[in-house]
Amino acid sequence: MSSSTFGQLFSVTTWGESHGKGIGCIVDGCPAGLSMNEAIIQSYLDRRKPGATKYSTPRKEQDTVTILSGIFEGKTTGTPIAMEILNETQRSSDYSEIASYYRPGHADYTFDKKYGFRDYRGGGRSSGRETIGRVAAGAIACTILKELGITVQAYTKAIGTIEISENNISLENITKSPLFMPDLEASAKAEDYLLSKMKEKDSVGGIIECIIKGMPAGIGEPVFEKLDANLAKAILSIGAVKGFEIGSGFGAAKLCGSQNNDMFYPIQTENSKNQVQKIEKKTNHAGGILGGISDGSDIVFRAAFKPTPSIASTQQTVNKSGEAITVNIKGRHDPIIVPRAVVVVESMAAITLVDMLFINMHSRINQVKHFYKQ
């Protein structure tokens, strides 16, 4: 299977299946000398591991990471970083009957049409467990960004029709909410709604919002490697994502140019040598990116996640012989994907940013000269 690698100068290759021996990734292009260890990576993996709350799959996995290469004495060596996370509680028998039919909302049918063969154990490569490798790599990318003063913060904006209120947002509440919502009042309502759907043997979707702070202006390419286009590709590559918008997004279609344009204004700042004129924007409908290039303001985007397709209520489908049948999906499944996907969104955003920052280093001759002739 090709196309399991994302990125150019900072690249991530994921491998493994949901019910295989393990999951992992290889990160290539990480600079030498970055402080890194398994504890840092584990802190990110713990945010997405299953069984943490009653709103996630009951499958119990520790998702313990083992670094196989690329790190020595707590520092990256500049060589490929290979990481492995073993699957500990595979129950392939839960999926034996689905080998004969196509689950609604899953990739079973399309995998069969593409390859003529599929790993039906939990979805194989199309399973949500594939994102483990992304998060392990994202932990490294986020650490690089912190060295540059750039932060990536995602959270649950909406569960079903229940959305956070701008007046009640506190980022400190994200870790207090089992749904990773910064508005605890909305979180309580969303929990009640989710519990009611679980009793009905149904599932729920939602929206994740991500805010990137500290990104310098001038990052991204003006045509086919636009920063927003690459962020969209990264986020839409997450299996359950069905929509992406940046800044005002689809709301911009309802505005006039006079409303949607972000007006610039100058401000005077001082550094140790002299006064510096800095350019700011009065609004941020563009979401921090103009012409595919970062403008120095916060980058704000949102991702829409579909409801978990594996539900226990009766559904209609067809078997591999083309016969109409009804099914009730068995196994251990999340009633909602969104909370565990928050760290996945952060990780894919961070991987994209690091890759684009590295690519940008050769955009000006003076930057190249500064590096090699300092």
Task: Supply the pTM of this predicted model.
Answer: 0.92
Q: Are 320 and 250 in contact (CB under 8 A)?
A: no
- Output the pLDDT for position 286: 97
State the pLDDT confidence band at 373, using cuts at 50, 70 and 90: confident
Q: What amino acid is encoded at 70 in this protein?
A: G
Give per-residue pLDDT as tens, 343-360. Answer: 999 999 999 999 999 999
Q: In percent, how much of the chain has pLDDT > 90?
A: 69
> Cβ of 138: how many Cβ atoms within 10 Å?
29
- Output the pLDDT for position 273: 63
- Output the pLDDT for position 43: 96
**In the predicted model, is pLDDT for residue 197 greater than 70?**
yes
- Output the pLDDT for position 205: 96
Give the integer Cα–Cα distance in Å for 1 and 121.
Answer: 17
By C-alpha distance, which of 151, 129, 131 is closest to 141? 151
Q: What amino acid is encoded at 245 in this protein?
A: E
Give the integer Cα–Cα distance in Å for 244 and 306.
Answer: 12
- Output the pLDDT for position 207: 98
Give the integer Cα–Cα distance in Å for 27 and 79.
Answer: 9
| Least confident piece of the model among 42-51, 164-173, 232-241 | 42-51
Q: Are 190 and 163 in contact (CB under 8 A)?
A: no
**In the predicted model, is pLDDT for residue 200 greater than 60?**
yes
Give the integer Cα–Cα distance in Å for 38 and 42.
Answer: 6
Look at 297 and 93; give whichever has higher pLDDT. Answer: 297
State the pLDDT confidence band at 62, using cuts at 50, 70 and 90: confident
Give per-residue pLDDT as tens, 260-273. Answer: 999 999 987 766 56
Give the integer Cα–Cα distance in Å for 148 and 168.
Answer: 30
Q: What amino acid is encoded at 37 in this protein?
A: N
**In the predicted model, is pLDDT for residue 92 greater than 60?**
no
**In the predicted model, is pLDDT for residue 374 greater than 90?**
no
State the pLDDT confidence band at 330, using cuts at 50, 70 and 90: confident
- Output the pLDDT for position 60: 63
By C-alpha distance, which of 53, 47, 119 is closest to 90? 119
Give the integer Cα–Cα distance in Å for 315 and 253.
Answer: 37
Give per-residue pLDDT as tens, 133-169. Answer: 999 999 999 999 999 999 999 999 999 999 999 999 9
Cα 51–chain centre separation: 19
Look at 192 and 273; give whichever has higher pLDDT. Answer: 192
Give the integer Cα–Cα distance in Å for 177 and 172.
Answer: 10
| 115-125 mean pLDDT | 78
Sign of CA dihedral 304, 310, 312, 317: positive
CA-derived radius of gyration, the chain: 22
| Least confident piece of the model among 95-99, 165-169, 333-337 | 95-99
Give the integer Cα–Cα distance in Å for 52 and 116.
Answer: 36
- Output the pLDDT for position 114: 87
**In the predicted model, is pLDDT for residue 94 greater than 60?**
no
| 95-120 mean pLDDT | 83
Give the integer Cα–Cα distance in Å for 40 and 62.
Answer: 15
**In the predicted model, is pLDDT for residue 274 greater than 80?**
no
DSSP states along 63-84? --EEEEESEETTEE-SS-EEEE
213 φψ region: left (φ > 0), alpha (ψ -120 to 50), beta (else): beta
Q: Are 286 and 295 in contact (CB under 8 A)?
A: yes
